Amino acid sequence: DTAVSQTPKYLVTQMGNDKSIKCEQNLGHDTMYWYKQDSKKFLKIMFSYNNKELIINETVPNRFSPKSPDKAHLNLHINSLELGDSAVYFCASSQAGQGPPLHFGNGTRLTVT
Amino acid sequence: AQSVSQHNHHVILSEAASLELGCNYSYGGTVNLFWYVQYPGQHLQLLLKYFSGDPLVKGIKGFEAEFIKSKFSFNLRKPSVQWSDTAEYFCAVIPNSGGYQKVTFGTGTKLQVIP
């Protein structure tokens, strides 16, 4: 009955590869997010997306792209992976107007070698 | 744009000691404030939140935080810590006019509680 689930939990890959991280929420929330947590634990929002609007943090390279097949899923696709992409990526969701906070997934630790 | 500062990067306490973690923000308008906790290897979980009303907010696991508007602060406190409180603590701010896409997290404070 996990609220926000991400797969895989760990992802090790080589530079230049393309990879995807999947995220699903069963909370019925209308907005989903991707965050990047770097080695210093700094959390930065990458994208927020609902069925109406995609908001992109302008500092995110265009090698990163969110893909949402439906309201309950927001996958993160990364092209041409670089060493600096190594981080923990968290998916989160929220419901507009409800006030409750972000619900986070357990994170995906991406290591690029 | 808003910013959040957590000046304590690493705090080490013995069990039963009292805890206070600092959080200061900068923003010209009304804000909503949060504290999240991240246990080792886990995701962020909400400890407590302030939207309006009583500036002293009580959260889960005995934590509380006080919003002092004049000081732009939202410090987290616990009178007596336990070993299980060992975790990373993040303060977060959202402008009252914005949604969660506008949330800004602090850089976190690592709390280590020694039995």
**Per-residue pLDDT at A54 exceeds 90:** no
CA-based end-to-end distance of chain A: 34
Average pLDDT across chain A, whole number: 88
With residue A30 as reference, give the H or E element that holds it: none
pLDDT digits (tens, 9 = 90+) for A74-103: 999 999 999 999 999 999 998 876 555 678
Confidence class for position B102, pLDDT limits 50, 70, 90: confident
Q: Which residues of B touch A99 (CB under 8 A)?
A: 51
Q: Which residues of B touch A105 (CB under 8 A)?
A: 43
Does B51 reach chain A within 8 Å, measured CB to CB?
yes
Nearest chain A Cα to B52, which residue?
Answer: A99
* Single-letter residue type at A17: N
* Single-letter residue type at B72: F
Other beta carbons within 10 angstroms of residue B45's beta carbon come to: 15
Are the beta carbons of A105 and A32 closer than 8 angstroms?
no
B43·A101 Cβ contact <8 A = no
Does B13 reach chain A within 8 Å, measured CB to CB?
no
**Per-residue pLDDT at B60 exceeds 60:** yes
A90·B34 Cβ contact <8 A = no
Spatial separation of the C-alpha atoms in residues A24 and B102, rounded to whole Å: 22
The mean pLDDT of B28-53, rounded to a whole number, is 89
**Per-residue pLDDT at B90 exceeds 90:** yes
Preferred mutation among B57, B100, B104 to probe A, highest tally of A CBs within 10 A: B100
